[in-house]
């Protein structure tokens, strides 16, 4: 096989002129290798066809492949890259005389050019000359070709390194790659990447020139130099550390016998969070200002990649925590539901069961919202991603689902938490006072305006304004609110001056706001302004697993408010509360529990539960009321009477005499009621079926 030599035929170098040759020069010596077959691997591992003894080479570094009669070189995503004729490559066709550089190793394809033969065979081809890197021109620039070539090589190396760092999302691996490149390019004997943890210095990675991890690395760096860099945010470069007047009192420099030291800070958003530290214990003045500029340049780039990797790991760990917590809660919910359906759970057992399900580790606190349900966990995960922003939030949910609690959580978790949180129900303001309430007024602007008054926007300036029931807002007020959101300015009633305001809007409604927009009851442009992010709260009937927790919370709070001992909750009571559809959601449950605590003695019995809670079975649709008031009252009374008699009979194991005494009726009357309402004992029901 003949390979063209830049347009000329290569003279035969042996009996078989079709076989190409590699001329390898590495620290182990010079040798020739004939290219036989269609593929040949090169690297530090013994598994390669061509093994090179160069610590700068990767185990599987590059590969030669013959394609359509022509050899091509491919870099196998090596750590330090592969160069052909001084240029980093990914894939490159080879011509006779091409020079392949891998760290300190030179490999020539087919022939060694005469100009290369004169050079020393083991000259370090990896070391990049950083002496003049980014040095400012103080005089009229004079073109120095060698200097331009050196800087170009450095920038190519930085470009390649940046590409590799972008793909690394594990901080430990990132530290290793950053440190290894700094050592190789600077020619340092040792290197350390140091981070700060609660004011303690932590050596996150350490390497020597042979890529070995340094033992007891935390005592191998100068604390004096590192602390100086971390506290001042300025780099330190010294060519003779033991005689440097800045560190004459440093025992660590003397004990470690340091000569040349370079330490530069790692900064994120102006804050120092670590340092890159390199040294040489055997040579003075190993580093120069160009090295300092290069390492500082690389440190600034590395800081960004380190922060990205840290945030990615934090997100990944949080997602794993959320997933594990969600699975645990779902399993506990299933267990609780099975027990409740079987009426085998005691209230204390339910409370302990639900408390086992720990919340995921959210970024912000939602402790005021009592929940362990997956539906609410999904809401918290969404809020975690947007709380820190200033974007408007629209909270949708039925009445009583806790929309204001969500609005307060958004405010408390944001950067506005130190400023006011102002809440207003738009439906509770008389139409003629809406503009004054929202924007304020000046004295004398209308009858009764005896003094200046700030509106809701001014009161909430710098903080959060929560507008509940925005669906009840008048068209005129909608237009004025839109202008405030667009311009950030309000004009108090009766004033000619405008007032600048900075307010985050959190709005809420229990109506179908999109339908209101469709029929023209709500402005479409205002809707899009408010609906940057939508948070939908599930009704209580879709998160029944929270009912035992909420009942427990409301009982404790009611007892604390009334100053009484906590009553015992009858299991039948918890069963009834769990299965109620709760059309009024958490607010209705709260009011019912307050009522039960107030009316109960030592035990909260199901007999005192409101008829409105008991009159609808789980999953049953409420029918519209029909008939006269007397008929409706009689129907409700009979329903309650049947439930009380049935529950008391079950409580007394169908001892009718005891049940009659407890209910205050005669035994014959009780028998009549049992027959009238067709109340059957559980065993009898099973036999009948």
CA atoms of 4 and 93, how far apart (whole Å):
12
Q: Look at residue 80 and give its three-state secondary structure.
A: coil
Q: Domain boundaries in the chain?
A: 21-109, 151-313, 374-538, 545-615, 630-677
Give the residue among 533, 267, 219 at the shortest CA–CA distance from 382.
533
Cα 315 to chain centroid distance, Å, stands at 4
What's the pTM?
0.52
Q: Which two tokens stand for residue 167?
A: 């793909």
CA atoms of 190 and 434, how far apart (whole Å):
71
Q: Which residues, in sequence order, are bridge partners of residue 30? A: 25
Q: Tell me: domain 630-677, CATH 1.10.10, correct?
A: yes
Q: Which residues, in sequence order, are bridge partners of residue 102? A: 105
Residues 6+ apart with CB under 8 A from 138: none
- pLDDT tens digits for range 106-154: 999 999 888 776 554 443 333 454 554 555 554 545 556 766 676 677 7
The CATH-assigned architecture of domain 545-615 is Orthogonal Bundle (1.10)
Whether residue 504 contacts residue 462, with contact meaning beta carbons closer than 8 Å, is answered with no
CA atoms of 399 and 220, how far apart (whole Å):
64
Give the residue among 526, 521, 516 at the shortest CA–CA distance from 467.
526
The mean pLDDT value of the chain amounts to 80
Give the per-residue pLDDT at 118. Answer: 52
Whether residue 58 contacts residue 52, with contact meaning beta carbons closer than 8 Å, is answered with no
- pLDDT tens digits for range 420-447: 999 988 877 777 777 888 888 888 787 7
Which CATH topology does 21-109 take?
Tumour Suppressor Smad4 (2.60.200)
Which CATH topology does 151-313 take?
Beta-Lactamase (3.30.450)
- pLDDT tens digits for range 598-620: 888 888 888 888 887 875 544 44
CA atoms of 375 and 652, how far apart (whole Å):
40
- pLDDT tens digits for range 543-559: 888 888 899 899 999 99
Residue with tokens 């981070």: 195
Q: Which two tokens stand for residue 403?
A: 């929309």
Which CATH topology does 374-538 take?
Rossmann fold (3.40.50)
Report DSSP state, residue 493. Answer: B
- pLDDT tens digits for range 193-252: 999 887 788 888 898 876 788 888 888 888 889 999 999 999 999 988 888 888 888 888
Give the per-residue pLDDT at 669. Answer: 85
Q: At 137, give phi and psi (nearest 5°).
A: -85, 115
CA atoms of 175 and 665, how far apart (whole Å):
83
CA atoms of 25 and 5, how far apart (whole Å):
22
User: pLDDT grade, residue 98 (50/70/90)?
Assistant: very high
3-state secondary structure 377-419: HHHHHHHHHHCCCCCCEEEECCCCCCHHHHHHHHHHHCCCCCC
CA angle 11, 17, 22 (to 5 degrees): 85
Tell me the CA distances in angstroms from 96 to 19, 81, 116, 449, one per residue in order. Answer: 12, 21, 13, 95
- pLDDT tens digits for range 370-414: 888 888 888 988 898 888 888 999 999 999 999 999 999 999 988
């Amino acid at each position: 096989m003949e390979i063209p030599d830049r347009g000329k035929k290569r003279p035969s170098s042996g009996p078989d002129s079709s076989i190409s040759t590699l001329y390898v020069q590495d620290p182990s010596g010079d040798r020739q290798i004939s290219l036989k077959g269609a593929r040949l691997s090169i690297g530090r591992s013994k598994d390669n066809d061509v093994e090179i003894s160069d610590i700068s080479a990767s185990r599987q570094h590059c590969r030669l492949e013959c394609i359509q009669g022509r050899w091509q070189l491919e870099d196998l995503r090596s750590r330090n890259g592969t160069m052909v004729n001084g240029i980093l490559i990914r894939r490159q066709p080879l011509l006779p005389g091409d020079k392949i550089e891998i760290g300190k190793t030179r490999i020539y394809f087919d022939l060694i050019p005469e100009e290369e033969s004169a050079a020393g065979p083991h000259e370090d081809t990896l070391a990049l000359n950083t002496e003049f890197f980014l040095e400012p021109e103080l005089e009229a620039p004079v073109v120095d070709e060698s200097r331009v070539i050196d800087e170009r090589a450095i920038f190519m190396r930085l470009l390649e390194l940046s590409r590799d760092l972008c793909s690394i999302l594990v901080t430990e691996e990132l530290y290793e790659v950053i440190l290894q490149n700094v050592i190789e390019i600077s020619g340092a004997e040792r290197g350390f990447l140091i981070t700060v943890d609660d004011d303690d210095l932590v050596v996150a990675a350490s390497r020597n020139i042979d890529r070995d991890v340094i033992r007891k690395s935390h005592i191998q760096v100068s604390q004096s130099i590192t602390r100086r860099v971390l506290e001042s945010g300025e780099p330190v470069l010294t060519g003779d550390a033991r005689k440097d007047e800045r560190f004459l009192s440093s025992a660590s420099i003397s004990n470690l016998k340091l000569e040349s030291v370079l330490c530069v800070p790692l900064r994120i958003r102006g804050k120092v969070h670590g340092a890159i530290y390199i040294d040489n214990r055997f040579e003075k003045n190993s580093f120069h200002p160009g090295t300092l500029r290069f390492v500082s340049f690389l440190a600034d780039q590395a800081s960004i990649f380190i922060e990205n990797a840290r945030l990615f790991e934090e997100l990944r760990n949080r997602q794993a925590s959320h997933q594990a917590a969600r699975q645990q809660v779902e399993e506990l919910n299933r267990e609780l539901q099975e027990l409740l359906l079987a009426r085998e759970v005691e209230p204390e057992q339910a409370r302990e069961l639900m408390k086992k399900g720990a919340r995921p580790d959210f970024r912000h606190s939602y402790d005021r919202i009592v929940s362990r349900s997956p539906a609410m966990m999904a809401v918290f995960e969404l809020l975690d991603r947007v709380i820190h922003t200033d974007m408007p939030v629209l909270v949708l949910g039925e009445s009583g689902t806790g929309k204001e609690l969500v609005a307060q959580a958004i405010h408390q978790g944001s950067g506005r938490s130190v400023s006011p949180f102002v809440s207003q129900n738009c439906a509770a303001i008389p139409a003629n006072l809406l503009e004054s309430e929202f924007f304020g007024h000046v004295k004398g602007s209308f009858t009764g305006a005896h003094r200046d008054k700030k509106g809701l926007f001014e009161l909430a300036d710098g903080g959060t304004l929560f507008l509940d029931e925005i669906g009840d807002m008048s068209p005129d007020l909608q237009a004025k609110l839109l202008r405030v959101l667009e311009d950030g300015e309000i004009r108090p009633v009766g004033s000619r001056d405008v007032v600048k305001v900075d307010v985050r809007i959190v709005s809420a409604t229990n109506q179908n706001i999109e339908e209101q927009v469709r029929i023209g009851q709500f402005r479409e442009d205002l809707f899009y302004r408010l609906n940057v992010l939508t948070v939908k709260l599930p009704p209580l009937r879709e998160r029944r697993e929270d009912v035992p927790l909420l009942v427990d919370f409301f009982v404790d709070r009611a007892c604390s408010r009334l100053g009484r001992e906590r009553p015992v909750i009858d299991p039948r009571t918890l069963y009834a509360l769990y299965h109620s559809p709760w059309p009024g959601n958490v607010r209705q449950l709260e009011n019912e529990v307050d009522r039960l605590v107030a009316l109960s003695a030592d035990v909260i019995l199901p007999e005192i539960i409101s008829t409105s809670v008991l009159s609808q079975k789980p999953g049953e649709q409420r029918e519209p009321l029909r008939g006269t008031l007397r008929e409706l009252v009689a129907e409700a009374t009979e329903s309650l009477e049947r439930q009380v008699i049935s529950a008391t009979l079950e409580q007394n194991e169908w001892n009718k005499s005891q049940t009659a005494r407890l209910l205050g009726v005669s035994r014959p009357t009780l028998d009549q009621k049992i027959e009238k309402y067709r109340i059957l004992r559980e065993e009898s029901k099973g036999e009948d079926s």
